[in-house]
């Protein structure tokens, strides 16, 4: 069945009154690909009602970023969600940020200023502000996020802990056969850049291969893979502590999250992997 579409908070609330049951929520910016669909399938497994939001949140884009050209493909998105989502919440900006009802801004704190936050100042404050607002509107039991956006997952977990709900469910990164993580931004890549973009997952594989040789060697091994790809410009490749999202010291041993960001032409891509440094 095609999902019901609600474009206003009132429409959503009226629908919810007649559709009780545990609710899993998948927030997205649309331009859905199989990575998003994996989140929705997981939502379907864990709750009675599945709600997907599609909202390109202006507050999480910087002035020089791709807000205007970000792909908007609502009809295709609704087809992709057939039989998977019960309702799609696709509000306008005025519904999310009403002029007569100031929305509480949420700060990401110091973690919001590292890694992605360095290249994208204010991005995580904007992301958390909209996620908090959507949680208020939808009031889910569980919200499903993709592991690919590791820093986002860390910050959303912190937000949910502060609020007391929802439970945060994380789904592994869905990839193309060559390893490139699926992303709505992959469509900006030329075919050469697309091929070169596998360098992110190849770098993470190199880090994993040398994880037994300590943090310094493992990180350097990943960096050298990115350096060997002429079309890629490394932004960062780091190993962070999953508890704090702070870079681990050189003599660290234990579980880490490897995070990488690189530019292919004008497109910035990120990827991540969990691994154990020994």
Q: Would you please indicate which residues are annotated as catalytic (active-site) residues?
A: 36
Packed helices 215-227 and 199-209: angle between N→C axes, nearest 10 degrees: 150
Please select the residue that binds ligand AMP; options are 114, 129, 174, 201, rule is CB under 6 A.
174
CB of 144 to ligand AMP, least distance (A): 7
Residues in 30-69 at the binding interface with ligand AMP, rule: CB under 6 A:
35-36, 38-39
183 binds ligand AMP (CB under 6 A): yes
171 binds ligand AMP (CB under 6 A): yes
149 binds ligand AMP (CB under 6 A): yes
Tokens found for residue 39: 């989140």
Cα 75 → chain centroid:
22
Cross-strand partners of 180: none
146 binds ligand AMP (CB under 6 A): yes
CB of 182 to ligand AMP, least distance (A): 4
For 243, half-sphere exposure in the C-beta direction (CA atoms, 13 angstrom radius) is 3
184 binds ligand AMP (CB under 6 A): yes
Residue 265 CA to residue 189 CA, distance in Å, equals 8
Please select the residue that binds ligand AMP; options are 148, 194, 202, 219, rule is CB under 6 A.
148
Residue 21 CA to residue 271 CA, distance in Å, equals 35
Tokens found for residue 187: 């469509």
Residue 109 CA to residue 112 CA, distance in Å, equals 6
Q: Which residue is nearest to ligand AMP (CB)?
A: 146
- Catalog residues that contact ligand AMP under the rule CB under 6 A: 28-29, 35-36, 38-39, 145-146, 148-149, 171, 173-174, 181-184
């Amino acid at each position: 069945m095609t999902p019901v579409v609600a474009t206003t908070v009132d429409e959503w609330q009226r629908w919810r009154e007649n559709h009780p049951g545990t609710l899993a929520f998948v927030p997205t910016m649309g331009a859905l690909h199989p990575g998003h669909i994996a989140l929705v399938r997981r939502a379907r497994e864990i709750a009675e009602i599945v709600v997907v939001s599609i909202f390109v949140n202006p507050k999480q884009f910087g002035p020089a970023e791709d807000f205007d050209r970000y792909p908007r493909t609502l009809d295709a998105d609704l087809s992709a969600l057939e039989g998977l989502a019960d309702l799609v919440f696709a509000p306008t900006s005025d519904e999310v940020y009403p002029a007569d009802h100031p929305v509480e801004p949420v700060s990401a704190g110091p973690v919001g200023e590292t890694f992605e936050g360095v290249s994208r100042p204010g991005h995580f404050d904007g992301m958390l502000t909209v996620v908090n607002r959507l949680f208020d509107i939808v009031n889910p039991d569980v919200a499903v996020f993709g592991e690919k956006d590791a820093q986002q997952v860390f910050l959303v977990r912190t937000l949910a802990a502060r609020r007391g709900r929802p439970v945060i469910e994380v789904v592994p990164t869905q990839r193309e056969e060559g390893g490139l993580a699926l992303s709505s931004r992959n469509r900006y890549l030329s075919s050469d850049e697309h091929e070169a973009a596998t360098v992110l997952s190849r770098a993470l594989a190199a880090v994993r291969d040398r994880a037994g040789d300590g943090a310094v060697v493992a990180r350097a091994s990943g960096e050298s893979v990115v350096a060997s790809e002429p079309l890629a410009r490394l932004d960062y490749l780091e190993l962070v502590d999953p508890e704090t999202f702070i870079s681990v010291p050189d003599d660290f041993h234990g579980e880490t999250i490897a995070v990488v960001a690189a530019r292919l032409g004008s497109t910035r891509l990120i990827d991540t992997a969990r691994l154990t440094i020994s």
